[in-house]
Amino acid sequence: MYLQHWGLDRSPFATIAFGHGASADGREPYPTRPLAEATARADYLVSQQRRVGVLVGGRGWGKTTALAAIVAEQRRAAVQTVLLDAVGLTARELLFRVAEGLDASPDSADCQMRLWRRVEDALAENRWQGLATLLAVDDAEELGPDSQQQLVRLARLEADPAARWTILLATGAESLERLNPSLLHLIDLRIDLPRWSANDTVGYVQTALVDAGRYEPIFTERALEQLHELTRGVPRHVARLADFALLAGAGAQATRIDAATVEQAFAETKWAPPSGMSLAS
C-alpha cells in the first residue's frame, strides 16, 4: 500500500534509515558537501602517503556511508583497499581479515605470526609495484585493547619512506578517548563529518524519491523544512522520518506530505535526539 499509494518502485529511504553504507543494487550515496569534503580529505591522506587518519562523526551522521564512498573512490584510483567492520573482531580475526583483504591467502590454521608474515609480504609486494594500500576500519572504538595494539603495529609496518600504506579509522568524537594513546599519536589527519545542511536534506529527499520512480513532488516546502528541523540534519534520522512520513501519509490517503504529517510521524516514532542537543545546535 505504501509504495502503490505514492507510485514508488521501491522504498526510497530504507538504505540510510537502517544504517547501511551502500544499497543492495550498488547505487551511489547522495553527493552532499560533507561527503565530498570527506572523500577529498581521505584522498589527500592516501596520495600524500600519510600513515593514519580518523573520520569523526556522531551516531547516524553517515560515517559508514562516507567510509564506503571513500573506499569505492580509492578503488577506482587503483588503490588496494581493505574495508573492515570492527565490531566483535578479536586481534587474530583482525589480522586474518586484513590478510584476506590484501589477497594474501590466509589459512584458518595460521597462527598470528604466520598472519603477520602474510600481511608483511603483501605490503612489500605492493610497495615493490608502487601500489598504494588503504585499510579502512569502521567503528574502530569497538576494538578491544589487543586489537587496537595490533592496529598500532600495522600502522608501523611500513616505515620505509617509499611505502604507501595508510590506515583510516571511523569513530565518534565521544569515542576518540577510547582509542589506544599510541594509535592516537600516529594520527596525521582528522576528518570531521558534520550533519547535513537544509539544502543537503532537501536534495537528498527529492533525489531519493525520483530514483524510486516518483517524479511529482510529495513533500511540501514547509514539510521539508520541518523534516530538517526535527532531525537536526542527522542523515539517518532524515531518512527514517521521511520514510515514516510517507507511511503516515499513505495511511491517511493524503496526496501530499505537509508539515503536520511530518510532525505526526515524528511524534509516533517516539524518537528523541541525544541529550544536550538543541534545535540550534
Give residue-wise pLDDT tens across range 106-130: 999 999 999 999 999 999 999 999 9
CA quadruple 70, 271, 227, 207: dihedral positive or negative? positive
pLDDT of residue 270: 65
Domain boundary among 170, 192, 214: 192
| Statement to judge: residues 148 and 115 lie in one domain | yes
Q: Are residues 71 and 12 in the same domain?
A: no
How does pLDDT run across 75-85, given as a tens digit for each residue?
999 999 999 99
- What residue type is assigned to position 99 of the chain? A
pLDDT band for 272, please (50, 70, 90 cuts): low
Question: Above 70 in pLDDT, residue 271?
Answer: no
Residues 180 and 95 in one domain: yes
CATH number of 99's domain: 3.40.50.300
Task: Provide the pLDDT for residue 163.
Answer: 66
**Domain membership flag for residue 131:** yes
- Rounded distance, CA 176 to CA 60, Å? 17
Average pLDDT of the residues in 56-85: 93
Question: Which structural domain, as residue segments, surrounds residue 93?
Answer: 33-192
Give the domain-ending residue among 154, 175, 192.
192
DSSP helix/strand/coil, 103: coil
CATH number of 21's domain: 1.10.8
Which position has the grid cell 567503528? 139
Other beta carbons within 10 Å of 110: 18
pTM of the model: 0.85
Identify the residue whose cell numbers are 574502530.
140
**Is the domain of 52 the same as that of 7?**
no
The verdict on 147 and 228 lying in the same domain is no
Query: What letter represents residue 228's amino acid?
Result: H
Cβ-contact 223, 259 below 8 angstroms = yes
Considering the domain architecture, whether residues 176 and 240 belong to the same structural domain is answered as no
Residues 52 and 162 reside in one and the same domain = yes
Q: d(Cα 38, Cα 129) in Å, to the nearest integer?
A: 28
Residues 42 and 177 reside in one and the same domain = yes
Tell me whether residue 280 is in a domain. no
- Tell me which residue has cell 572523500: 39
The answer, yes or no, to whether residue 18 has pLDDT greater than 50, is no
Which neighbouring-strand residues pair with 85?
138
Strands 80-85 and 133-138, bridge-based pairing = parallel
| Residue 140 DSSP label | G
**Among 192, 219, 242, residue at a domain's last position:** 192
Number of domains in the chain: 2
Instruction: Read off the pLDDT band of 16 (50, 70, 90).
Output: low
Residue 250 forms part of a structural domain: yes
